[in-house]
Amino acid sequence: MDLVTVASYDRVAEARLAKNLLEAQGIPAFLEADAASDVFHLTGEVKLQVADEFASDAREVLAAAERHQLSDETEKEADAAAEAEGESPAEV
């Protein structure tokens, strides 16, 4: 499976929230972090990756999120997934 980077983030929490958002939409997503973010869990480039066949859909979902055009249900699912991983949606 070829992975494509659809976004990069400076904060791990922000990357995890975006990952959860994609997964709430049925898009399997993966994070690839540089050594600094792996060690400190705070800063450093974190790449959000999806399989090539999902790249276009993933970019659309992320663009809608940046424009604050998510449905209430999608936001609730992403928040719930973030909380399940031990993060507060307010951290982002």
Q: What is the mean pLDDT of residues 41-60?
A: 89
pLDDT of residue 37 exceeding 80, the answer is no
Query: Model's pTM, two decimal places?
Result: 0.68
User: 2 in helix, strand or coil?
Assistant: coil
The third-level CATH classification (topology) of the domain covering 3-91 is: Alpha-Beta Plaits (3.30.70)
Confidence at residue 43, expressed as pLDDT on a 0 to 100 scale? 60
Query: The sheet that has 3-11: what strands, in order across it?
Result: 3-11, 43-51, 29-33
- Write phi, then psi, for 70 (nearest 5 degrees): -80, 150
Q: Which is higher by pLDDT, 61 or 10?
A: 61
Q: Which is higher by pLDDT, 74 or 36?
A: 74
